Amino acid sequence: MAPSPDSSPRSLGPLERLILVGIALLLAGALLWLRGGIQPQAPLEKLARQSLDLPAARANGRPTLLEFYADWCQACRAMAPAMEQLEQRRRGQLNVVLLNVDNPRWQPELERFEVNGIPQLEFFASNGEPVGRAVGARTPTELQAIGDALVAGRPLPQLAGAGLTSRVESAPAATMAAPRSHG
């Protein structure tokens, strides 16, 4: 039995190819537009990659702002441009350190700082001593005020969800939910 003429593949004509290329370009353009353009790294990833190691940051004589974050955290992603702006504005005066809660390497820090929500910010004076903590997203204005206070050695601004830290000499062992458990 001979194949029917309708079942053989036919090649695309020049006009059809041009239409397909046009559609592909439109889809690529829409994808770039939806993702915010061509960015080699998003602010969150860029800050995390250039962060100092936490022990080095706490020992270098500059105050430190530590953020526990996750790539999937919308509040962390929304706060990232303001964190990047703070880091650029205070470069050489303030350490900005980011630790991803999904990286098992940071599990000891997650436990040590009792991270149970993100973003969680930890603040350290220039001598490396903890001076405060904030849980939840911060506005650019709040981040600038925190950075200014840390650099000047002044008390942290009074903000909702932020407070002083106190040293606990010995704490009973406690079971805590993982930062990503939401439970």
CA 168/CA 160 separation, integer angstroms: 23
Query: 47 near 99, Cβ under 8 Å?
Result: no
Structure tokens at 66: 């530590």
H helix or E strand, kind and range, residue 145: helix 140-152
Which has the closest alpha carbon to 66: 103, 102, 110? Answer: 110
Please pick, among 73, 80, 98, 99, the residue that the annotation labels catalytic: 73
User: Of these residues, 44, 47, 70, 76, which one is catalytic?
Assistant: 76
- Asked about 105 being catalytic, the answer comes back as no
The dihedral over CA atoms of 39, 42, 47, 53, expressed in degrees to the nearest 10, equals -100
Q: Does 10 participate in catalysis according to the annotation?
A: no
Q: In angstroms, rounded to a whole number, what is the distance separating the alpha carbons of residues 143 and 147? A: 6
In the chain, the DSSP E strands lie at 64-69, 95-100, 120-124, 130-135, 162-163
Check: CB of residue 151 under 8 Å from CB of residue 137: no
Catalytic residues: 73, 76
